[in-house]
Amino acid sequence: MRKLKIYLLLFIIFIQILPERASAQDKAQEPKARYVFYFIGDGMGLAQINAAQAYKAALQGKIGIEALNMDKLNALGLVSTYAQNRYITCSAAAGTALATGQKTSINTIGMNADRTAPLNSIAWMAKKHGMKVGIITTVSLNHATPAAFYAHRPDRNDYYEIALQLTESNFDLFGLGGLKDAKGKKGDQPDAYDIARQKGYQIVKGREEFMKINKLDKKIIAINANIDPENAEVPVALDRGPEDMSLAEFVSKSIALLDNPNGFFMMVEGGQIDWACHNNDIATTIGEVLDFDQAIGHALDFAQKHPKETLIIVTADHETGGLTIGNALKHYDSDFGWIRHQKASQPALAKMFKEYKNRFCPANCSFDGIWPIIQEKTGLGKDIPLNEFDRTQLQMSFRASMLGQMPFPSEEANYLLFGGNDPLALMVTRIIAQKAGFGWTTWSHTGIPVPVRAQGPGQKSFEGFIDNKDIPHLILKAMGLPQNLN
């Protein structure tokens, strides 16, 4: 009788243990993310994504949404973006949260909020565990978002020091933009590219050289043929020439180079979505979102080959510009397709207008003189009908740009109207936004949450309302790596 009781007890214990053991077994077999793509659209809020979707539909004569590649990622969440000491964040603080899993203060790169201790990133952890690491961006490689993955500096403007830390990172691949202030702010420091070479990096410039590389047997910094002499970014999609690599092209080649049995971690930033939004330039914004989205397409193709081991994350550091769909002057209407008539970005337009000014102003310049350039590059007054108010605004901005006659005595009023931009280039792109039915509220960032999309191991954990600092921890968990980065 006593024996029977003991057997019964053992049986009950066994039954209770059984499900636990089974779930532990399941856990051990749960696929881990061996290939990780971390796409960060700088300034890419919901409105920027929706503008691109609606624009694509409009091009086909449809009202509605044409799906993007990022829409194929099934898991969707919302991300709060505030910094430790300011609700409306910046790319340094937000990039640090997205890279290290800790909130920090404004302008701080990869350090704690009081700037006393460095914070390690998930890229560092991936490298430590034998994975290959790639850091890719359309702005400079030592700009805030990419820097948060390898650097530790109290100020995001320490570009030279950040560049030196890049050379110490030992990460396998950096590209598409170059190094800003490679010789320091005054140009009197040892060249950071030379230092990178000394640390074992091969520097390749342009498509031809980059495409020739078949194996990643040496660490690489690969730079587009054309980069801005001051800020080291690549041309935006709208201004790209035949020599320029697209982000998608660069990502596709990078996947081939980084692919190896130990896996890889790749951070891809669409860095100039943010810049276009700071300019309130809707055509360039949409162009950059679509360009960024094409790069995501290559990650999706790769994921089809390794569906159980590929994690793709698409998110943003913050929204920029306070973009929305709808404009007071347009009431309930929209003509998103008109965006296609803008053939140059606002900075490229500003450059053309400056050339005109240098040649003709003040003696021989007139609105009629510059009008053919505006028509050709933007479609205004040709493909996009203008009214009296539009013409008045253009002429007022012409006088501000060409003759320095600002419309208001108050600096604040002029700032509200033009920001710090070239008045005429700004007005041209603003009228395009108004006519198409888009609205902007600020020249800066906003504090509204941004979407996160995920596909792959652990994708469900990205759903719901999460915080930016949660994302790196969720990625590490999906990778089966320790979540403690320090």
The site for Zn ion (CB under 5 A) is made up of 274
Shortest approach of Zn ion to residue 126 CB, angstroms? 26
Shortest approach of Zn ion to residue 317 CB, angstroms? 8
Closer to Zn ion by Cβ: residue 181 or 274: 274
The candidate with the shortest Cα–Cα distance to 152, out of 124, 118, 196, is 118
Closer to Zn ion by Cβ: residue 107 or 459: 107
Shortest approach of Zn ion to residue 160 CB, angstroms? 21
Rounded CA gap, 7 and 13, in Å? 10
Shortest approach of Zn ion to residue 96 CB, angstroms? 15
- Residues whose CB is less than 8 angstroms from the CB of residue 61 and which lie 6 or more positions away in sequence, other chains included: 337
Closer to Zn ion by Cβ: residue 274 or 293: 274
DSSP-derived pairing of the beta strands 264-270 and 310-320: unpaired
Closer to Zn ion by Cβ: residue 92 or 176: 92
Rounded CA gap, 107 and 154, in Å? 7
CA distances from 310 to 36, 189, 303 (A): 6, 42, 5
Rounded CA gap, 335 and 158, in Å? 43
Closer to Zn ion by Cβ: residue 143 or 357: 143
Tell me how far apart the terminal alpha carbons of the chain are, to the nearest angstrom. 58
Rounded CA gap, 174 and 20, in Å? 45
The candidate with the shortest Cα–Cα distance to 111, out of 168, 63, 156, 178, is 156
Rounded CA gap, 377 and 328, in Å? 25
The candidate with the shortest Cα–Cα distance to 384, out of 394, 398, 396, is 394
3-state SS assignment for residue 368: helix
Rounded CA gap, 96 and 469, in Å? 8
Shortest approach of Zn ion to residue 91 CB, angstroms? 6
DSSP collapsed to 3 states, 175-220: EECCCCCCCCCCCCCCCHHHHHHHCCEEEEECHHHHHHCCCCCCEE
Closer to Zn ion by Cβ: residue 274 or 281: 274
Closer to Zn ion by Cβ: residue 162 or 216: 162
Shortest approach of Zn ion to residue 267 CB, angstroms? 17
Shortest approach of Zn ion to residue 316 CB, angstroms? 11
| Angle (CA) 258 263 269, round 5° | 55
Indicate the residue whose CB is closest to Zn ion. 274
Shortest approach of Zn ion to residue 16 CB, angstroms? 55
Shortest approach of Zn ion to residue 320 CB, angstroms? 5
Closer to Zn ion by Cβ: residue 277 or 474: 277
- Greatest alpha-carbon pair distance for the chain in Å reads 115
Shortest approach of Zn ion to residue 135 CB, angstroms? 19
Closer to Zn ion by Cβ: residue 233 or 274: 274
Rounded CA gap, 379 and 373, in Å? 10
